Structure 1
Amino acid sequence: MTRSLLSADQLPVHARRVRAMLVRWIPLLEARGVFMVLLASAVGAIAGTLVTAMSAIVQGLHALMFDVQPGGRLSGMFSLQHPRQAVVPAIGGLLLGMTFLWLKRRKFRTPIDPIEANALYGGRMSLTDTLIIAGQTMLSSGFGASVGLEAGYTQVGSGFASRIARLLRLRRNDVRILVGSGAAGAIAAAFDAPLTGAFYGFELVIGIYSIGNVAPVMTAAVSASLTAEMFGNVPFPLELSGLPDLTPSQYLPFLLLGLVGGGASIAIMYLVTMVERLFVRMRIDSSLRPFVGGCAVGLLSLITPQVLSSGHGALHREFAMNYGIAVIASVFVLKLTASAISLGSGFRGGLFFASLFLGALLGKVFAGVMAFVSPATGIDADVAAVVGMTSLAVGVVGGPLTMTFLALESTRDLTLTGVVLAASIMSAILVRETFGYSFSTWRFHLRGETIRSAHDVGWMRSLTVGMMMRKDVKLIPATTTLAEFRRQVPLGSAQRVVAVDGDGRYAGVLIVAEIHSEQTHPDSTVLTLAKFKDSVLVPTMNVQSAAETFQRAGAEELAVVKDFTDREVVGLLTESYLMRRYAEELDKARRDLSGEG
Structure 2
Amino acid sequence: MTDPDWGRNVPSTLKAALRRTGLLRLLIAPGRFRAFVRQSELGIVLLGAVVGVLAGLVVVAMSAIARLLHQAIFRIEIRERLSSAASLDTTTILIAPVVGGIVLGLIHLVLAYRRKRPMVDPIEANALHGGRLSLTDSIIVCVQNLVSNGFGASVGLEAGYTQLSSGFASKIGVSMKLRRGDLRILVGCGAAGAIAAAFNAPLTGAFYAFELIIGSYSIASLTPVIAASLLATSVARPFVPSSFLVNAGSFGAVIPTDYVPALLLGLLCAGGGILLMTGVSMVEEVSRKSSIPPAIRPALGGIVIGLLALVSPQILSGGHGALHVNLDQDLTIPALGFLLLMKSLASAVSIGSGFRGGLFFASLFIGALLGKIFALAGMWLVPGSALTPAVYAIIGMSCLAASVIGGPLTMTFLALEVTGDFSITALTLAAVITASLTVRNLFGYSFATWRFHLRGESIRSAHDVGWIRNLTVGKLMRPDVKTATAGMSLAKFRESFPLGSTQRVVIVDDDGKYVGIVIVPEAHSSLVIDTDGGLLDLIRYRNSFLLPTMNAKQATRIFEHAESEALAVLGDKIEQHVIGLLSESYTLRRYSEELDKRRREVSGET
TM-score calculated relative to the size of structure 2: 0.87
Q: Given the alignment of the two structures, is residue 90 of structure 1 paired with residue 98 of structure 2, yes or no?
A: yes
Q: 2:546 aligns with which of 533, 537, 545?
A: 537
Post-superposition Cα deviations, 1:445-466, rounded to whole Å, max 9, x if no partner, equal 3333333222233322332212
Distance 1:255 1:574, change over 3 A: farther
Q: 1:595 aligns with which of 585, 593, 604?
A: 604
Q: 1:307 aligns with which of 295, 301, 315?
A: 315
| Deviation (angstroms), 1:521 | 11
Q: Which residue is 2:579 aligned to? A: 570
Q: Given the alignment of the two structures, is residue 498 of structure 1 paired with residue 512 of structure 2, yes or no?
A: no
Q: Which residue is 1:117 aligned to? A: 125
**Distance in 1 between the 2:518 and 2:394 partners?**
64
Q: Is the 8 A contact 2:368 2:396 kept in 1?
A: yes
Q: Given the alignment of the two structures, is residue 456 of structure 1 paired with residue 464 of structure 2, yes or no?
A: yes
Q: Is the 8 A contact 1:476 1:499 kept in 2?
A: yes
Post-superposition Cα deviations, 1:129-150, rounded to whole Å, max 9, x if no partner, equal 1211111101100101011100
**Aligned alpha-carbon RMSD (Å):** 3.2
Q: Which residue is 1:321 aligned to? A: 329
Distance 1:74 1:503, change over 3 A: same
Distance 1:408 1:494, change over 3 A: same
| Deviation (angstroms), 1:523 | 5.5
Which letter maps to 1:575? E
| Deviation (angstroms), 1:84 | 4.0
1:70-469 equivalent positions in 2, closer than 5 A: 70-77=78-85, 80-107=88-115, 109-371=117-379, 374=381, 376=383, 378=385, 380-469=388-477
SS in 2 for 1:326: helix
Q: Is the 8 A contact 1:465 1:539 kept in 2?
A: yes
SS in 1 for 2:237: helix
Q: Is the 8 A contact 1:483 1:523 kept in 2?
A: no
Q: Which residue is 2:569 aligned to? A: 560
Q: Which residue is 1:583 aligned to? A: 592
SS in 1 for 2:556: helix
Unaligned ranges ≥5, structure 2: 1-23
| Deviation (angstroms), 1:532 | 4.2
| Deviation (angstroms), 1:408 | 0.9
| Deviation (angstroms), 1:344 | 0.6
**Distance in 1 between the 2:405 and 2:598 partners?**
25
Q: Given the alignment of the two structures, is residue 39 of structure 1 paired with residue 47 of structure 2, yes or no?
A: yes
**Distance in 2 between the 1:22 and 1:525 partners?**
66
| Deviation (angstroms), 1:427 | 2.4
Q: Is the 8 A contact 1:199 1:402 kept in 2?
A: yes
| Deviation (angstroms), 1:104 | 2.0
**Distance in 2 between the 1:519 and 1:24 partners?**
66
Post-superposition Cα deviations, 1:483-529, rounded to whole Å, max 9, x if no partner, equal 99789878998665433333221123456788879999966576577
| Deviation (angstroms), 1:347 | 0.4
**Distance in 2 between the 1:427 and 1:577 partners?**
44
Kindly tell me the number of residue pairs found equivalent between the two proteins.
Answer: 580
Post-superposition Cα deviations, 1:386-436, rounded to whole Å, max 9, x if no partner, equal 222112211221211111111110122111222212222222223333433
**Distance in 2 between the 1:432 and 1:521 partners?**
61
SS in 1 for 2:378: helix
Post-superposition Cα deviations, 1:235-294, rounded to whole Å, max 9, x if no partner, equal 321122213433222323322322332233233222211111111222111111100001
Unaligned ranges ≥5, structure 1: 1-15
Q: Which residue is 1:11 aligned to? A: none
TM-score calculated relative to the size of structure 1: 0.88
| Deviation (angstroms), 1:21 | 5.8
Post-superposition Cα deviations, 1:101-158, rounded to whole Å, max 9, x if no partner, equal 1222223532222222222333222221121111110110010101110010011211
**Distance in 2 between the 1:358 and 1:455 partners?**
29
Distance 1:536 1:24, change over 3 A: closer
